A and B are shown apart, each in its own frame.
Chain A
Amino acid sequence: RKEVEQDPGPFNVPEGATVAFNCTYSNSASQSFFWYRQDCRKEPKLLMSVYSSGNEDGRFTAQLNRASQYISLLIRDSKLSDSATYLCVVNVNTGGFKTIFGAGTRLFVKA
């Protein structure tokens, strides 16, 4: 079992749709959580951190469920420019810290 698992997709949605991605993690010592966005042939860029209480940034909402060990990303009112791969990232305390990346979920937003 992978330490961080994501549905690879692709998710194909029309403009204006709401889409949600989940990411599960296996290590209960996971301490910090992030969503990154990666455009084709570009580097990953931080989209948002994920806090225990949940957090929102414009059309994007991130949630953390420690009991079930998953994080989620909700995108409302999808734009064409949201088309990208979304990476779930987890930092695990293993004595030192280890950053683990999910393989990513591809999103295509169509006109």
Chain B
Amino acid sequence: DVKVTQSSRYLVKRTGEKVFLECVQDMDHENMFWYRQDPGLGLRLIYFSYDVKMKEKGDIPEGYSVSREKKERFSLILESASTNQTSMYLCASSLAPIEKLFFGSGTQLSVL
């Protein structure tokens, strides 16, 4: 069965901290995505990657960076966490850009 694993379910960080969110998929998918989800706003794309070492900005990349050193792993980095980055972060992968997405269980990040 398909699996996308996010390293933490809940995370509490302080303003200014560097935060790493890890995501691993076991499906050999080329495409991986990071979204954030906020009430009333739906899912918004932060960054995505179509291949190892490749990254593309999504709709809201400011304040974030990503790393894809291996095909199965896609990391989201908050260089200096701020309170407006408190959100649910969802990692996803897909076989092809037009195909369905498989999501990880999400990380609820609180920045205090």
Residues of A within 8 A of B (CB): 8, 31-32, 34, 41-46, 49, 87, 89, 91, 96-97, 99, 101-104
Contact = CB atoms under 8 A, between A and B. Distances in A.
A17 B106 CA distance: 32
Contact of B42 (A31, A46, A97, A104): A104
Interface residues of B, number: 19
A43 B41 contact: no
B42 A101 contact: yes
Contacts of B106: 41-43
A44 B42 contact: no
Is the contact region of chain A dominated by helix, strand, or loop, or is it mixed? strand
Contacts, number: 43
Contacts of B100: 34, 46, 49
B46 to A, nearest CB: 13
Nearest to B40: A103
Given A43-B103, A43-B105, A103 B97 contact: no
Given A32-B99, A42-B105, A44-B101, 20 more contacts: A34-B100, A42-B106, A43-B103, A43-B106, A44-B103, A46-B101, A46-B102, A87-B43, A89-B101, A91-B98, A97-B98, A99-B33, A99-B45, A99-B97, A99-B101, A101-B42, A102-B42, A103-B40, A103-B41, A104-B42
Interface string B37-76: 0001111010000000000100000000000000000000
